Structure 1
Amino acid sequence: MIAITLASNNNYAILAAVLIQSVITNHTSGEDITFYFLDDGISRINREKINTLAKDNVKIEWKPTEEILPPGVKFPEDNSAFPRTSYFRMFAPFVVPPSVKKLIYFDVDMVVKADVAQLWNTDMRGHTMAAVQDVGKVAGCKWGGIPNYEELGIAADAPYFNSGMLLIDCEQWRKQNIPQKVLKVMEDNIQHVNYADQYGLNVVFTGKWLQIDPFWNWFANNYHPNAKCIHYLDIKPIYKSYNSDKVFQQEFFKYLAQTPWKNMKMKSDLSRLIHKAKIKLKKKFKAFLKTN
């Protein structure tokens, strides 16, 4: 059985459905698939729509927030517009059944074009986690990477990964208590945190992660015919202001047409900007309360 986790709030339920459908459409090798959906407030109507995508060999199991987050867990209040849902990936190995030894995590702003079994069968070579190198490539990247890499004793040329797709050894992840380590690193270096938990994960896993085929996390601004998993890092394909590769946008809508959202109209950019502003304001307010 192939175990896949994804996390979403209600704003990105459509993206989650497209991701799930793309995996199902391109899975030709026959293994059963279980999607463990880390649910941060998906509406009942949207859950029902997503459930229609399940088939005989495809299950969707819902894991609501109260089952995902340990009691009292607090996320660092950085200055990004990333929602708390982005942190859920760290807790996925604690949510799946003990029989699940390995899992694939996908951000929901992705489309999978190849058989996911290829990724699932990756030889982890004893690593706790496998990923794809990010656009910025290295820790010392001036516009990305780890801003305080020198202070942390990390080499400037240390490979830096994008956390949108992770292949995780669940037993090792739990044994090492990765969430606790990542959250502590972020709290201790909050002024340097740039991409939410991606910062903390890269600090914790520096020199200890397996680098795999970049086509399994290929960024949508750079077209390539051999991309196996497209990552819409910038403005998502559902918005009128989408500015990445048009062929990859068409790929997204091909799978969207196979979901209950097939007649969806493109969204205005205003709704996207308002959503991001709300997240930032909420974080600033929490940080203010914390210091006063």
Structure 2
Amino acid sequence: MNVVYASNDNYARHLAVSLYSLLEHNREISDVQIYILSMGLSPETRARLERAAATFGRSLTVIELGDLRERFSYEVDTGGFDLSIMARLFIGEVLPPDTDRVLYLDCDTVVLASLKRLWETELDSSILGAVMEPTIYPSIKEEIGLLPEEPYFNSGVLLIDMKRWRTEDAGKMLLDFYCSRGGKLFAGDQDTINGALKGKIKPLPPRYNFFTNYRYYRYDHLTRLSPVYGKISKKSFQEAKRRPVILHFMGDERPWKEGNLNHYRKAYETYLSRTPWAGTPKENGSRLYMAAYHLMDYATFLCPPVRDFVSRRFGMQVINSRKNVQRETDQKEKA
């Protein structure tokens, strides 16, 4: 099983949590190859990650990508997201040419069970498999050329047929699409994958990429937001809630933020305590905001339209705030 992560030093401890959980639950798989696409990981960080892998008798390969901006022939704007999110677009260029299939995982995931069945999933004629994200804004789908009735997928977990990726030159398709949108999209890599590979993505069961805030959504509400989500059975969605295989900490209620009340935070904290980053203090944040966010989670279950209203009303404000913070960080780095 070939597993790929992408990270810089800022996300390394989250990567370690995901890596540790992955290896603990997949001991029975004899051959696990770990590739880390690095954007300037320090020697100390690399050594820490290697120690985490060595706990299970595994090794990992770090592939340094350097400054990702230099890999684009045009200016890019990730809208406040860290540029490392774009690393997965170059996966076909940097992995060994004999790699037939890979499982890409975001750093903010935690594995809770064996991935053997996911790894063996048939992709048929699709380039990759991913889990649908029915709560995406309709305007985002429209911007990347998706019709309301077409599915939109989350890019946090990708099962990729690397043979087909290379044969169909998916890397070029992705870069050309992103260029056609001016190198700027709401969710850079994710929007690019959805727009460029439309019709070439196979839906995976939600338990393989369960968004933690979806614990509070009702199945019928998700199918109202995106009728195509009906292709995922209610039983499959409920199974994902009860027994997720891969947790994905989406939204602002992240377990590494001070004051968070994420229902699944113990999973993250448990594995963090077993990594070389054990004892890392939580990031400073607003406890009041965390409490308000958690209340919104319950409002989502009790009265779904409330979440829809809040998302439409304040969603872009959060995005713009994130962009301003990233802009300030970039300026400090240049100074």
Instruction: Using structure 1 for the length normalisation, give the TM-score.
Output: 0.83
1:46 corresponding residue in structure 2: 45
Residue 225 (structure 1) shift = 2.4
**2:138 match: secondary structure:** coil
| Residue 142 (structure 1) aligned with residue 142 (structure 2) | no
Report the Cα distance in structure 1 between the residues aligned to 2:271 and 2:117, rounded to whole angstroms: 20
Residue 73 (structure 1) shift = 2.4
Residue 93 (structure 1) shift = 2.6
Residue 50 (structure 1) shift = 0.8
Over 3 Å counting, the alpha-carbon distance change for 1:54 and 1:136 in structure 2 is: same
1:130-209 correspondence to structure 2 within 5 Å = 130-136=129-135, 141-142=137-138, 145-148=140-143, 152=145, 154-190=146-182, 193-209=185-201
Instruction: Using structure 2 for the length normalisation, give the TM-score.
Output: 0.73
Residue 267 (structure 1) shift = 1.5
2:273 corresponding residue in structure 1: 257
Over 3 Å counting, the alpha-carbon distance change for 1:112 and 1:74 in structure 2 is: farther
Instruction: Kindly indicate whether the alpha-carbon contact (under 8 Å) linking 1:76 and 1:186 is maintained by their aligned counterparts in 2.
Output: no
Instruction: Kindly indicate whether the alpha-carbon contact (under 8 Å) linking 1:79 and 1:283 is maintained by their aligned counterparts in 2.
Output: no
2:228 corresponding residue in structure 1: none
Report the Cα distance in structure 2 between the residues aligned to 1:280 and 1:75, rounded to whole angstroms: 19
Which deviates more from structure 2 when the two are superposed, residues 184-193 or residues 12-21?
184-193
Amino acid across the alignment from 1:254: T
Residue 81 (structure 1) shift = 1.2
**1:269 match: secondary structure:** coil
Report the Cα distance in structure 1 between the residues aligned to 2:20 and 2:51, rounded to whole angstroms: 10
Q: Highest Rg: 1 or 2?
A: 2
Residue 117 (structure 1) shift = 1.7
Question: Per-residue displacement from partner, 1:181-226 (whole Å, max 9, x unpaired)?
Answer: 2222222223972111211110112122111111111111133221
Report the Cα distance in structure 1 between the residues aligned to 2:69 and 2:185, rounded to whole angstroms: 22
Residue 283 (structure 1) shift = 7.6
Question: Per-residue displacement from partner, 1:123-166 (whole Å, max 9, x unpaired)?
Answer: 111311110001426xxx436x42325xx4x4211011001110
Residue 175 (structure 1) shift = 2.4
Report the Cα distance in structure 2 between the residues aligned to 1:268 and 1:44, rounded to whole angstroms: 26
Amino acid across the alignment from 1:88: A
- Structure with more of its chain in strand, by fraction: 1
Question: Per-residue displacement from partner, 1:84-141 (whole Å, max 9, x unpaired)?
Answer: 211111212322222210000001011011112221111111311110001426xxx4
1:127 corresponding residue in structure 2: 126
Report the Cα distance in structure 2 between the residues aligned to 1:11 and 1:192, rounded to whole angstroms: 23
1:92 corresponding residue in structure 2: 91
1:1-292 correspondence to structure 2 within 5 Å = 2-55=1-54, 58-66=58-66, 72-74=71-73, 76-78=75-77, 80-136=79-135, 141-142=137-138, 145-148=140-143, 152=145, 154-190=146-182, 193-223=185-215, 224-235=241-252, 236-242=254-260, 245-246=262-263, 248-269=264-285, 277-281=324-328
**2:46 match: secondary structure:** helix
Identity rate, percent: 24
Amino acid across the alignment from 1:158: E
Over 3 Å counting, the alpha-carbon distance change for 1:34 and 1:283 in structure 2 is: same
Instruction: Kindly indicate whether the alpha-carbon contact (under 8 Å) linking 1:37 and 1:61 is maintained by their aligned counterparts in 2.
Output: yes
Residue 256 (structure 1) shift = 0.8
Report the Cα distance in structure 2 between the residues aligned to 1:201 and 1:10, rounded to whole angstroms: 25
Which deviates more from structure 2 when the two are superposed, residues 274-283 or residues 154-163?
274-283
Report the Cα distance in structure 2 between the residues aligned to 1:176 and 1:237, rounded to whole angstroms: 39
Residue 76 (structure 1) shift = 4.7
Let me know the Cα RMSD of the aligned residues: 2.8
For structure 2, list consecutive stretches of 5 or more residues without a partner in the other structure: 216-240, 287-317
Instruction: Kindly indicate whether the alpha-carbon contact (under 8 Å) linking 2:110 and 2:248 is maintained by their aligned counterparts in 1.
Output: yes
Over 3 Å counting, the alpha-carbon distance change for 1:19 and 1:99 in structure 2 is: same
Question: Per-residue displacement from partner, 1:3-43 (whole Å, max 9, x unpaired)?
Answer: 00000111111000001000011114332111100011112
